[in-house]
Amino acid sequence: MALPAIPAQGLALDARALDGLRRDASADPRAALRQAAGQFEATADELEAALQGAAGIFERLHREMEENNLATFRPGPWNAGLVPFPPVPGAGRRA
């Protein structure tokens, strides 16, 4: 699943939308709050879709690496730097 590209003018449009929201808030704060809530909800949905897409990409990549006998480490505390990596790729595999 390809993520949509952000056009170069996209950020400028967002800035203008924010300015418009500020103007609306001074005239009708409740309407501006409803509008902002709707924008954040859409943004949260888009973020969730992007995260799920990225997770799928990494899952497929990891599966392909395992199928082709490339050295892989399963997710574990070593990824966060809490402990050293196991000495052998594949160690710490979940059953």
| 17 domain-assigned | yes
* 92 occurs within a structural domain: no
What percent of the chain stands above pLDDT 90? 0
Residue 16 forms part of a structural domain: yes
Identify the pLDDT of residue 12. 55
Residues 6+ apart with CB under 8 A from 73: 79, 85, 86, 89, 90, 91, 92
pLDDT at 95: 42
Average pLDDT estimate for 18-44: 79
Q: Is the pLDDT of residue 67 over 70?
A: yes
By the 8 A CB rule, do 64 and 72 touch?
no
Contact 65, 72 (CB under 8 A): yes
What total of structural domains would you count in the chain?
1
CA distance 21 to 39: 11
Length in residues, the chain: 95
In a domain, 88, yes or no: no
Domain presence at residue 50? yes
Is 28 among the domain residues? yes
Output the pTM of the full model.
0.38
* Least reliable range by pLDDT among 26-30, 66-70, 71-75, 91-95: 91-95
Question: Structural domain of residue 44, as residue ranges?
Answer: 10-80
Domain membership flag for residue 26: yes
Q: Is residue 90 situated within a structural domain?
A: no
